[in-house]
Structure 1
Amino acid sequence: MKTKLLYLFITLFAWHSNAQVISMIGSTSPSGSWSVDTNMNTTDNVTYTLNNVTVTTATDPATTGLKFRQDGLWTNNWGNANFPSGTATLNGANIMTVAGTYDVTFNRVNGTYTFIPSGFPSIGIWGPAVNSQLGYGAPDVDMVTTDGITYTLSGFYFSSGNCYFRQDNATTNQWGSTTFPTGTAVLNGPSLFVPGGEWVVTFNRITGAYSFDYNSVGILGSGLNGFNVADTDLTTADGFNYTLAGLALTTGEVKFRKNNDWATNWGAAGFPTGTGTQDGPNIPVTAGTYNISIEIPGGNYVFTNTLSTASTSMASVKVYPNPSASVWNISHSDTISSVQLMDSLGKVITSYAPNATEFQVDGSGLSAGVYFVKITAGLDFAVQKIIKN
């Protein structure tokens, strides 16, 4: 018996000695100081929480706000200007808090964080769609609310899979449904299947109404109506390829951005085509009327003057079968000069130079999920979403 107790003590001591300490620090944090940490709590060394935390309003992004950091060291700190939720990055921007009392959650592995006003129930999304590895064994991904009724989640990439909405991490308070992208979830209803991708999710805790919407992508700048006005939104049918027809521009500069927020924006020096990058330079444009397209998250964009004739039509590109368990066939009426296979974040996995009108992409070694192929023919390109079963 003594041996077992000694072993348990050693195991617990080893776990605590190896556990990382995560804290909040900053001028708007509970300590009100950039030199005093407020430690958070954890049961798994991944998700850290602290309830009834009072923060103040951040006014200057250079000097105010707060951050998360590990073991009291600035070598491991995370931030993102977004509030009340976002995905913090290593050495990222200060979190621009708004005064209030919150229940705070931070995930040390993927950087996601939420500030939920204290006193409101927490609502999370739970299941393989939000954690393809651990599934229902993983913690919820918390949504954000300002009134305790309507909850939202954005900036999160879902895997293809099932999930539930649930309250306070309790299986006794979970909602489900069979309809996507909108519907009314019912208590103890069936699990909801969500296709992989980035969705803006809204859930009403009282009525159960929910929606999964595509992100908005807009364009703005001095070549349009200025940088301090509302975006002119593009349209999308798949959440990846966005288009806008017949937009009149003056000579000047523009940028693309997501959800009317500078936290995610694309720019580059190239015109009429280019690959926009996060916080890249403004895009120089010349006066004219254009059909505009951009694919996200890769950032490839095209401005086509409506008075000119495109050299190649990409409408005849075919990718099949899709979804597929092994290979995708690509065909086009013109010679395909290059094919890039990308992951869901736009990172290039493999590049090909077919120089043929037909080509086959082998996906047998890929994990199940959402990918993209960028197909270039002549001066034109198209990006299509593909799904690996």
Structure 2
Amino acid sequence: MRVVNSLSSETAIYSNVVAITVTPFNLTSYIYVVGAFQGWNAGSPDSLVSITGNGIYTGIINFTQGNNQFLILPAKNYNNKYATSTTVVPTSSVTYNASNNLNAPTTAGQYIVTFNLNAGTITFQAADSYSVIGDAAQGWSTDLPMKFVNDGKNNWVLTLPLVSTGSFKIRQDDAWTNSWGIPNSGTAGYGVPNTLNSTTNSNIAVTKSGTYTVSFNAPPSVGGAGLTTTTYSVTQ
């Protein structure tokens, strides 16, 4: 690098060139979510992520029936917390080390949670969910819910036993309106490794029985929005 100094558009003085070493660092930051939905375990919390470190944290949290109370922690302990001083349900304002638990909506389900640390606000939006279904798992009438990983990579993950005598698909909101399988010939994604198609497709086969982790890439969405093609993985 060098420094330039000018008194006018026609006069400039340059310094000698100096070599510097620049090390980039990741701006991504996390805060942690504990509550009745996970047993108030600060040692194994869920999380919200701010990809650019701008103080706005988002993620999807699955609030189970009757378990809508929670807290946000800056670290994996109860030394400090983000809570609320109100009793409004769902909570809209957040205060550092306030006395009341935060409240998600009382209706159970997956919610996009957005916590604005700068403004001290929190919002909830019902999110589409994804599940594994098929006779390779627990049958074509049983949806096994996947968990959204709050790290900015938009992956839904589930570890489960699968058997080689069956196959499975991934579907949205426990319905066949949007579902994904292996692309058939002549359709989008056909022949592309690790790609699923939501239009014309076949079941996902299991070649060997065992315990697998199924990962499915789908960004947070609301109201049944579906992807035509997306990526997935099945690893043992």
Regarding TM over 0.5, the answer is no
Structure with more of its chain in helix, by fraction: 1
Structure with more of its chain in strand, by fraction: 1
Q: TM-score, normalised by structure 1?
A: 0.25
Q: Bigger relative contact order, structure 1 or 2, given CA contacts below 8 A and separation 6+?
A: 2
